[in-house]
Amino acid sequence: TDLKMAHEQQKKSLEEEFEKIRLSLKDQVDTLTFQNRSLRDRAKRFEEALRKSTDEQIVDALAPYKHIEEDLKSLKEVLEMKNQQIHQQELKISELEKIAEKNVHLEERLQVLQQQNEDLREQIDKNLAVSRQLSEENANLQVHVEMESKEKKRLSRTNEELLWRLQTGELSPHMTPSSSPIHHPASGPGSPARPHSYHQ
């Protein structure tokens, strides 16, 4: 945007300068046209003076043309200089137009990249939401797995205790675990627990 504004400002300045040069050249052309008419009038008077064939009149008629060659040479140099300036200004304007066209392409490319960036941000937000959801589900699964593992260990301990009581005779095979009292062995380390007496 700054480059475009600078381009527009420089282009406007060049156009104003070009207009000034054009008006100046127009004034010079008008001046030359006026001088040309004046010269024609003088030439006409010179021709009239020649017709009269008087030396005094010829000298008076030639007096205004004494420095005309120098004036024409000076005007020619000024015109060449102005033409060169106009050519340089046209080259600058052409270069600025190329830069402006390039800036338009860059702006279009920037808009495309900004849109792609927005799309990527939306995709990232979606992925983050999915990731959070998966994390929550994973945490719930871990809690569930831990509960299942604890329940499995509890059932395993209960099963081992029932097997041990069956092996030691403390629990009859016909008894259900819910109807039999649970007795813990009181034997010392390394020695099997003695079965307790049980009356149905």
pLDDT in tens, 115-149: 999 999 999 999 999 999 999 999 999 999 999 99
- Residues near 168 by beta carbon (within 8 Å), at least 6 away in sequence: 185, 192, 193, 194, 195
pLDDT in tens, 148-193: 999 999 999 999 999 998 888 765 555 444 444 444 444 444 434 4
pLDDT in tens, 27-39: 888 888 998 888 8
d(CA 73, CA 86): 20
Does pTM top 0.75 for this prediction?
no
Amino acid present at 100: A
d(CA 168, CA 157): 16
d(CA 90, CA 96): 10
Query: Given the structure tokens 């010829």, which residue do they identify?
Result: 58
